[in-house]
Structure 1
Amino acid sequence: MSNKIINAYTSIPLVARMLGALVIGLPIGLAISFYSPDLINVISAYLSPFGTVLVNMLKMIVIPIIFFSLIAGAASIPLGKLGKVGIKTILWYLMTSLFASLFGVLVAMLFNPGVGFTPQQVASSVAQVGVQPSADIIGILLGMFANPFASLAQGNFLPIIVFAILFGVATRLVADKPLDEEESKRAFALIDFAKSVNASMFKIVNWVMEYAPIGVLALTIVNFGTYGSDLLGSYGQIVIGIVLGILGLIAFVYSGLLILIGRENPLKIFNKIKEAMVTAFATRSSAATLPVSMEVARDELGVKEELASFTLPLGATINMDGVCIHLPMWAFFAANMFGISMTIDSILVMVITTVLASIGAGGVPGGSLMLLFIILGTMGLAPEQIAIVVSLAIAVNPILDMFETMNNVTGDLVMTYLVGKTEGLVDENVQKKL
């Protein structure tokens, strides 16, 4: 009987389970807050551990999965064999990630979620923690080059990110050395090791996400029971802001690049790639969408096989434009929630961190949640404060992840097409049909 229940539970798509937990937990929490505020303390004592376990499991895996993902991602780029097209593609992806991060900050500043949401419960729950003062931009940039092993133990993310990227790039350069075959083999073995560890970590993530709906149900009841309807407005503001921001990124940034550089009507291009966009939205995986993206790039956009086979897998690895909208929104919410001033320095650090962390983290399941730990950490928030924000973000993350993945795949295809067109790697016969 228990096996049947478990099988029936796991047969339901994860997104549906997460949404169901949110839909069930939200009215229960609001009802408790409205009709019996004192009851939430009793209920929280029983339910909070289920939610805390979920947050702690995510905290447990965030450092190793980001570390090995970045090594594997950086090492997957054959730098020693790159020509003009390869370098141009990487620069395009980094440039759009930077544009997306800046656009995400602009959207977050416009919506400014969480203004006025400073309930007594939040203040009392973190009063003993306090907010760590953030260093200036120079101090933070200098701190990027620190002892990586000490940083791993301390959870200091920026030095970990920098070291992992440098280590991955160096390993790939050693692996591509044609004159020392033995050394090259050992370097490739090291890359394979990083990829194997990554695959094992992904399996752990999948286990965590199977438990996630239970934790989300508990967290939703406790959070909305504690903070009441005041939280609902900020919550809706964040979700709407992220969705509109992602759609705006496609409508303005990608469309602008297609008009200015490609001399194309964006609507025609988006119509050609709609199958890949819908697939990405449904699967929430750039990797799972890759076969469709390859077919669309070749048959609909006319991109030649030799280019698409390089740029699209690379984009699935290092391009996370969608999360660049997601992270600033939660960062500004946290800043308003805990009374942190978002200075130019802190915004620049957030942009730099997002761009760096996106390299290699594109294939991480629930990647935006993993990166949220990093962004909130660089803001100077203490673990208890980070846990509060993450517990609020978990419930809607799978839903927002659908929009993010759709955005990422759209960006991959747009950048591939623009590189192909500027380098003469687009079939002219297909081009005439656009």
Structure 2
Amino acid sequence: MRKIAKLYFSTPLVYRVVAAFLLGIAAGIGCRYAGPDVCDGTLAVLAPFGTVLIAMLKMVVIPIIFLSLVTGAASLPLRKFGRLGMWVVAWYFLTSLFAAVFGTGFALFMNPGMGDAGEHAAPLMGQVEQLRLGGGGGGTLLKLVNDLFMNPFQALAEGKFLSIIVFSILFGIAVRTVIEESGGGKVRMAAETLLDVFGAAMKACFRMIDWIMEYFPVGVFALTAVNFAAYGAELFGPYLRIAGCVITGVLIMIGVIYPLFVLVICRENPYRVLAAVREPVLTAFLTRSSAAALPVSLRVADEELHIRNELSGFALPLGATINMDGVCIHLPVFAILAANIFGIPLGMGQIFVLILSVVFASIGTGGIPGGSIFLLFMVLENMGLEAGRIAMIVALAIGINPLLDMFETACNVAGDNIGNYVIARRNGMIG
């Protein structure tokens, strides 16, 4: 038994998750065709294991967003970087906004849906309805504005994601302002201690995520088995359409849109720059972590692109935290999928709210593997989905997330490095 446990934990997590996904497919399809009595009994046993995974993800998503945004915003050295810092922040925000618009438009064009499999949604809905994630009811521009500013304690308690994000960013910037304006007195020491506490709390949350990720294969197996028991083999089509939509969008972003940015702004061969940053992009693809690729990005920026460290040392760590263009392409696909499944009308107001929600959500991923799963809760809640429907979409997303996460993280890191180079070229920071 000890040898089996040792082999299990020594196997890379992504392999365990893929194996759990494939075993879940086999178990779900087998259960579906074993007869209703066997299927109902099996689902009753398996469903709680998947429900526990979603509940654990929901448990940590709010602390992660709050702590990572406060520490990230407070890391901005306002006085030291001034105009250059504003260049970096503006670039990351605008490229995230562009990626969200592109991702939403591309998802609307590809129109991912369940097709004939959607007729079998009721059994799965019954399995996940027991999970209460906090009611929806959003989706309008007026509600979006109202949700931006509210009592932060109420927002934390009720899981109002947009309010938490706005307060976290403003609070982090306020702490940085206090540090820079208070000289070397007790106030500065207290503010710096507060940031240290927040940083330690964030590391503790990341450790909790490590523990949750060890449970991930179990939850993925259960959720996938429930999905395929409810939908049958018809689910392969939607999974392929979702994967194709996300991967195609990411490849267009990396291979076409980023090079266009370099060509238009820097007036040089963009694919030379893209080739220079291939190592951190590949590292991100394999590790599924922007943070893990950060040391490689810093080395490439210095040795290959010859960008001054005073820019790279600020722009790349910040980008690993808040610049998530791949997430901005990934999340709209599942949002449009949800709209198609549940018949949610998407007018211009709803699309605007979706884009803004995706941009704000992408800021809070923290550079961790699978971070987009945590943020899918927020995007779906802002669309006004009920708790059971949110759980259903998340359950679908979890099964295929390891594959999509590889591509979206590669896109994130490519965006960090391209942005670092463009800003350096425009501000004379190369050489």
TM range (shorter): over 0.9
Displacement, 1:178? 4.6
Aligned residue runs from structure 1 range 13-52, under 5 A: 13-34=12-33, 36=35, 39-52=38-51
* Equivalent position of 1:393 in the other structure: 397
Evaluate the alpha carbon distance shift between residue 132 and residue 182 of structure 1 in structure 2; reply closer, same or farther with a 3 A threshold: closer
Deviations along 1:127-175, one digit per CA (max 9) or x if unpaired, are 999x955352123212211111112211221111111111111111111
Query: What residue is the counterpart of 2:69 in the other structure?
Result: 70
Whether 1:105 aligns to 2:117 is no
Bigger mean CA offset, 24-33 vs 322-331: 24-33
CA-to-aligned-CA distance 1:211-233 (integer Å, 9 cap, x gap): 11011111111110111123221
- Residue 85 of structure 2 corresponds to 86
Rounded to whole Å, the distance in 2 between the matches of 1:142 and 1:280 is 37
CA distance in 1, matches of 2:129, 2:343: 12
The residue correspondences of 1:7-406 to structure 2 (distance < 5 A) are: 7-34=6-33, 36=35, 39-114=38-113, 116=115, 117-122=117-122, 125=126, 133-179=137-183, 181-406=185-410
TM-score normalised according to structure 2 size: 0.94
> Aligned pair 1:419/2:418, yes or no?
no
1:249–1:73: structure 2 CA closer, same or farther, 3 Å change rule?
same
| Counterpart amino acid of residue 13 in structure 1 | P
Helix, strand or coil at the partner of 2:150 = coil
| One-letter amino acid matched to 1:210 | E
Q: Quick one: distance in 1 between partners of 2:11 and 2:396?
A: 23
Larger deviation: 273-282 or 25-34? Answer: 25-34
Question: Secondary structure of 1:396's match?
Answer: helix
Distance 1:229 1:85 in 2: 53
Using the TM superposition, name which of 391-400 and 118-127 deviates more: 118-127
Amino acid at match of 2:235: L
Rate the CA distance shift 1:121–1:285 in 2: closer, same or farther, 3 A: closer
> Any conservation in 2 of the 1:58–1:370 contact (CA below 8 Å)?
yes
Counterpart Cα distance in 2 of 1:247 and 1:409: 13
Distance 1:246 1:320, change over 3 A: same
In the alignment, the residues of structure 2 paired with residue 217 and residue 359 of structure 1 have an alpha-carbon distance, to the nearest angstrom, of 29
For residues 345 and 335 of structure 1, what CA distance do their matches in structure 2 show? 14
Report the TM-score when normalising by structure 1.
0.93
| Paired residues of 1:69 and 1:364 also in contact (CA < 8 A) | no
- Give the match's secondary structure for 1:176: helix
Q: Distance in 2 between matches of 1:196 and 1:380?
A: 34
Amino acid at match of 1:399: L
Structure 1, gaps ≥5 residues long = 428-434
Shift of the alpha carbon at 1:312?
A: 1.0
SS in 1 for 2:118: coil
Quick one: distance in 1 between partners of 2:234 and 2:108? 20
Distance 1:162 1:119 in 2: 39
Tell me how far apart the structure 2 counterparts of residues 293 and 316 of structure 1 sit (CA, whole Å): 10
Q: Write the distance in 2 (CA, Å) between the matches of 1:332 and 1:38.
A: 34
How many Å separate the matches in 1 of 2:101 and 2:121? 33
Gaps of 5+ in 2: none
Aligned length: 426
Instruction: Look up the SS of the partner of 1:361 in the other structure.
Output: coil
Cα distance in 2 for partners of 1:132, 1:142 equals 14
- In structure 2, what is the Cα distance between the partners aligned to 1:310 and 1:206? 27
Q: CA 1:121–1:93 in 2, change beyond 3 Å: closer, same or farther?
A: closer
- In structure 2, how many angstroms separate the alpha carbons of the residues matched to 1:163 and 1:132? 20
Alpha-carbon distance, 1:52 to partner: 1.0
Cα drift, residue 205 of structure 1: 0.6
SS at structure 2 position matched to 1:426: coil
Equivalent AA in structure 1 for residue 422 of structure 2: L
* Cα deviation digits, residues 229-273 of structure 1 (max 9, x gap): 232211111111111111111122211101100112222111111
Question: Counterpart of 1:411 in structure 2: which amino acid?
Answer: G
Deviations 1:112-139 (A, max 9, x none): 111535324438638999x955352123
- SS class of match (2:325): coil
Contact residue 73 and residue 359 of structure 1 kept, 8 A: no
How much identity, in percent, do the aligned residues show? 46
The letter of the residue matching 1:348 is: F
Deviates more, 1:250-259 or 1:355-364: 355-364
Q: What is the CA RMSD across the aligned residues, in angstroms? A: 2.1
Question: 1 CA distance for matches of 2:34 and 2:43?
Answer: 16
Gap change, CA 1:267 and 1:55, over 3 Å in 2: same
The residue identity in structure 1 corresponding to 2:108 is: M
